[in-house]
Amino acid sequence: MNTPTLISRHKMFNGHHERYRHASAATGTDMTFAVYLPPQALQGYQVPVLYWLSGLTCTDENFSTKAGAQRFAAQWGMALVMPDTSPRGDDVADDERYDLGQGAGFYVNAVEAPWAAHYQMYDYVAHELPALIEAHFPVTDKRSISGHSMGGHGALQIALKNPGRYAAVSAFAPIVNPSETPWGQKAFTAYLGGDQTTWAQYDSTKLVQTASAKLPILIDQGGGDDFYPQELQPEKFAAAARGNGFHVQFNLRPGYDHSYYFIASFIDSHIEFHADALGL
């Protein structure tokens, strides 16, 4: 496993916010990620990790600079890991639309050309990145996962498909039923082809109906979100999850939109939710 190369480091709340680049075997490209190491990690302690998956058009920097999560990660003593949302580069397939291609990997393993060559974001996030983080940073193998919009879709389906790997999962305005919504149908058709049995492997509302490990789930949805309820159908997911014995905390937040103003307003409760699940 190659050693990640440091791009930048900033002191925050007595910890370090750092960005790295590394050669990814999963995507066949260089990938960028950020990690926030709380003060406890700089004092010789190993800490658990919360993985954050961002939404359409984002890089690792949107959450890093807008959510204010580092303050609460420092308080609870957990690391934050924030990957990019897709492979990037001149040789990486792209599309002129914002919701397909670079910045829109949808956390799947693409099987259709030209996407299959590099768009292996499921393997990258679920397998390669955690192995790299645990090999090179002062962290334990205790993990949680969270995300926003497309990243909420990624967090939920990755957690549901990997029982025992994550202590909890949370999401802001997640795409929970991509097989039946315009964003998901466009991306899944491009990346996965027309076989909807393949789509079901990445659809959280379908996955949760048979998932065995009943990890805790927290979802916040803004009532003023322009994409709710056509693209975002969290109530459908919550009903399916509860029907299979999951404990789901679902909050519909009146007046809040799809932006990082919404995320920043409630990120403290999500960090606390994961801290409790991680035993902090």
**Tokens 């929970």 — which residue?**
176
Is 141 known to be catalytic? Answer: no
**CA distances to 7, 218, 274 from 81, in Å:** 15, 19, 14
H or E stretch covering 71: helix 69-76
For residues 53 and 147, the answer to whether their CB atoms sit within 8 Å is yes
Is 258 known to be catalytic? Answer: yes
Which member of 149, 203, 220, 274 is catalytic?
149
For residues 204 and 160, the answer to whether their CB atoms sit within 8 Å is yes
Is 8 known to be catalytic? Answer: no
For residues 54 and 148, the answer to whether their CB atoms sit within 8 Å is yes
Which member of 17, 258, 270, 274 is catalytic?
258
For residues 80 and 45, the answer to whether their CB atoms sit within 8 Å is no
Which member of 60, 225, 270, 274 is catalytic?
225
Q: Is 243 exposed, middle or buried (0-12, 13-18, 19+ CB in 10 A)?
A: exposed
Q: Which residues are catalytic?
A: 149, 225, 258
